[in-house]
Amino acid sequence: MTVTIVCFGAMREYLPTDAVGNRAELAVADGSSVAEVVDALGAPRSLVFSILVEGVQAALEDEVPPGAEITLMPPFAGGRYS
């Protein structure tokens, strides 16, 4: 099955070379979990801080439906407290 991966921050360096901006299509096995998608990218699972599947918060062990859009975000840093 094919899924769309959207990566932010340090996760972008793991996108395939044919990525457009921060998005790429990725072929993975039917029934793959988010963790298996991360593995297919070659990214360390520990780098994934926040996951959205079709815009809904998800976990590494969640199964990915065919054609899903998966957003992967690393830990955020910076900012300022008021």
pLDDT per residue as tens digits for the range 10-54: 999 999 999 999 999 999 999 999 999 999 999 999 999 999 999
Q: Which domain holds residue 24?
A: 2-73
Does 78 fall in a domain? no
Instruction: Using the predicted structure, report yes or no on whether residue 73 has a pLDDT greater than 80.
Output: yes
Q: How many structural domains compose the chain?
A: 1
Question: Residue 68 is part of a domain; what is its CATH number?
Answer: 3.10.20.30
Return d(Cα 2, Cα 30) in angstroms, integer.
9
Could you tell me the pTM of the whole model? 0.89
